[in-house]
Amino acid sequence: MSRCKQCNVEILDETERCPLCHSVLEKTVEVENMYPNVRMMTRRLALLSRIYLFVVILVEALLIYLNVLSDSEMFWSAIPGLAMLYGYLVLRYAILGKSGYKGKTIVLTLIAILMVVAIDFVVGYRGWSVNYALPSAILLVDVGILILMCINRRNWQSYMMWQIFMILCSVVPLVLYAVGIVTAPILAVLAFAFSAALFLGTLIIGDRRARTELRRRFHVR
């Protein structure tokens, strides 16, 4: 303990100067600090992700240069570029990011779909991205939900909102079919059917617990 003559107060910290006025203290009794010293440490992973970004930019620049040199009609260097960008996003957002895994899955899947569409355009648009890749992604997420429900058995009902969201998502390829963008509707129909069946199955088999979950989620007070 020490005394600040300027402020006329006792200081209980292990220090030589007053935290209020920064004048030198007069020491009276030995004391120990009651708070730990916790300055933030730099995070190694964040550094790693910055190094990755730098290397990716160098590699992509080289690829674009080679692309131009090779005089190819196709802008092929965009494909590895997109893949590396996706790698960076996974590192920054999925590994270092702090949002929940549901948000991460949705955002990363959405970005993956957009990238696949972009690649489709790069190699001369033939529509395979929207015909097959998009509904496949929806099916993949549906299967993921099913697996998560099995793993997290105690809270299986909490995935029902996600199932509803996936039904809404699976309507998108059907709408694209209606406006003529999707030309081969088999997978789109399958994705919609699977999403709807997953939800209905949970609702029917889950019975009361599933209904209560919906009541909770949709309560208007």
**Site of interaction with another protein (CB under 8 A):** 1, 7-13, 15, 17, 19-21, 32-40, 98, 100-101, 153-154, 157-158, 161, 208-209, 212, 216-221
Tell me, what amino acid is at 43?
R
CA–CA dist 105, 145 (Å, integer): 11
CA–CA dist 106, 99 (Å, integer): 11
Q: How far is the CB of 132 from another protein (least distance, A)?
A: 32
Q: Which is nearer to another protein, 76 or 93 (CB)?
A: 93
Q: How far is the CB of 216 from another protein (least distance, A)?
A: 5
Instruction: Write the DSSP string, 37-51.
Output: --PPPPPHHHHHHHH
What is each CA distance from 62 to 75, 78, 115, in whole angstroms?
14, 12, 21
* Cα angle value 201/204/205 (rounded, 5°): 75
Q: Which is nearer to another protein, 1 or 184 (CB)?
A: 1
Q: Which is nearer to another protein, 29 or 51 (CB)?
A: 29
Q: Which is nearer to another protein, 131 or 163 (CB)?
A: 163
Q: How far is the CB of 155 from another protein (least distance, A)?
A: 8
Q: How far is the CB of 8 from another protein (least distance, A)?
A: 4
Q: Which is nearer to another protein, 30 or 71 (CB)?
A: 30
Q: How far is the CB of 159 from another protein (least distance, A)?
A: 12
88 contacts 97 by C-beta, under 8 angstroms:
no
Which two three-digit tokens encode residue 205?
A: 């088999």
